[in-house]
Amino acid sequence: MSIDESTALPRLVVLISGSGSNLQSIIDAIRAQRLQAQIVAVISNKADAYGLQRASNAVIPAITVDHKGFASRAEFDQALQQQIDSYQPDLVVLAGFMRILTPDFVRHYTGRMLNIHPSLLPLYKGIHTHQRVLDDKAKEHGVSIHFVTPELDGGPVIMQAKVPVLPSDTAKSLAQRVQAQEHVIYPRVVKWFVEGRLKLEGNQVMLDGNVLKRPALHL
Ligand code: GAR
C-alpha cells in the first residue's frame, strides 16, 4: 500500500484495559483486507495490559494513560481525550476498556465511539455478566456492540450474537464461547461504520439510511 493510500484510510483509536483479543480481531481483519481502515493508536489505562504488546507487535503506537495518576475521573478523561484527539480518529473503539466514562467525554465522541459488552443488552449491564447469567440459569447469552451514550452500557445496540448456555458451562467456558463471537462481529460493525453505512441519529442507529429497529443478529 502506498503512503497516500494509507493516509486516506479511516483512522481508528482503540482503547483497552486487558488482553486485547478484540483489538487483535480488528488488526487481523485489517491485515486480511476484510476491513479498510488503520489503527492509529492503542491506548490502555493499564501499563501491563497484554493488548499493548499486541499493538507493538503490529507496529501500532501503544500508549498508557494510567487512571491512577489522576486525582479525579474528570481529569483522567480529559487527559485521555487529549491523547485520543492528537491522533484525529474517525472512530474510537472501546475493546475491553474497563472504565466508567464521564458524560463530557462521552458527548465529545457522540456518534463516533463504539463499545462491546458481553451480554445481550439490555440484559446484564455492568460486570461479571457470565457468572450472573449462570446464576440466573439463563438458557442463552451473548454479546452486543453499541454506540456509547452517557448511560452505562445503555447506548443503542447495533449488532448482537447469541450463544447457548450449556449445563456444563462455567463462567470461563461461557466467556470463551462469547468471545469467539465477539471476534467475528466487532470487525464487521467497525467495517459498517468506516464504510459510512452506520450512523447514530438522536438515540437511533441508522444503517444504510434506515432506522435499525432491532439489533442486527449474527447467526
Ligand atoms: C471482552 O469480552 C469484552 O466483551 C469485555 O471485556 C473483554 C475484553 O477482552 N468488555 C466489557 O466487559 C465491557 N464492559 P479483550 O481484552 O480480550 O478484547
Q: Is residue 55 situated within a structural domain?
A: yes
Ligand 1 pocket test: which of 21, 46, 119, 129 has the largest number of ligand atoms within 8 Å of its C-beta? 21
- Angle (nearest 5°) at CA 14 between 157 and 202: 35
Ligand 1, residue 117: give the atom nearest the CA.
4
- Please count the other Cβ atoms lying within 10 Å of the Cβ belonging to residue 79: 15
Ligand 1, residue 116: give the atom nearest the CA.
4
Q: Is residue 178 situated within a structural domain?
A: no
Active-site pick, 67, 117, 130, 146: 117
pLDDT in single tens digits along all 219 residues of the chain: 555 566 799 999 999 999 999 999 999 999 999 999 999 999 999 999 999 999 999 999 999 999 999 999 999 999 999 999 999 999 999 999 999 999 999 999 999 999 999 999 999 999 999 999 999 999 999 999 999 999 999 999 999 999 999 999 999 999 999 999 999 999 999 999 999 999 999 999 999 999 999 999 987
Name residue 160's amino acid: Q
Q: Whose CA is nearest to atom 6 of ligand 1?
A: 96
Q: Are 144 and 159 in contact (CB under 8 A)?
A: yes
Q: Is residue 8 situated within a structural domain?
A: yes
Q: Is residue 132 situated within a structural domain?
A: no
Ligand 1, residue 24: give the atom nearest the CA.
18
Q: Is residue 26 situated within a structural domain?
A: yes
* Structural domain harbouring 81: 1-109
Q: Is residue 80 situated within a structural domain?
A: yes
Active site residue 128: no
Q: Are 28 and 55 in contact (CB under 8 A)?
A: no
Q: Is residue 37 situated within a structural domain?
A: yes
* CB neighbour list of residue 210: distance below 8 Å, 6 or more residues apart: none
211: β partners: 206
Ligand 1 surroundings by CB, under 6 angstroms: 16, 18-22, 51, 95-96, 116-118, 179, 182
Query: What's 8's domain CATH number?
Result: 3.40.50.170
Q: Is residue 127 situated within a structural domain?
A: no
Q: Whose CA is nearest to atom 7 of ligand 1?
A: 96
Q: Are 19 and 177 in contact (CB under 8 A)?
A: no
Residue 172 CA to residue 178 CA, distance in Å, equals: 10
* CB neighbour list of residue 96: distance below 8 Å, 6 or more residues apart: 16, 17, 18, 19, 20, 21, 22, 23, 51, 116
- pTM reported for the whole predicted model: 0.97
Please state the domain count of the chain: 1
Burial 156-187, CB ≥16 within 10 A → b, else e: bbbbbbebebeeebeeeebbebbbebbbebbb
Q: Are 34 and 7 in contact (CB under 8 A)?
A: no
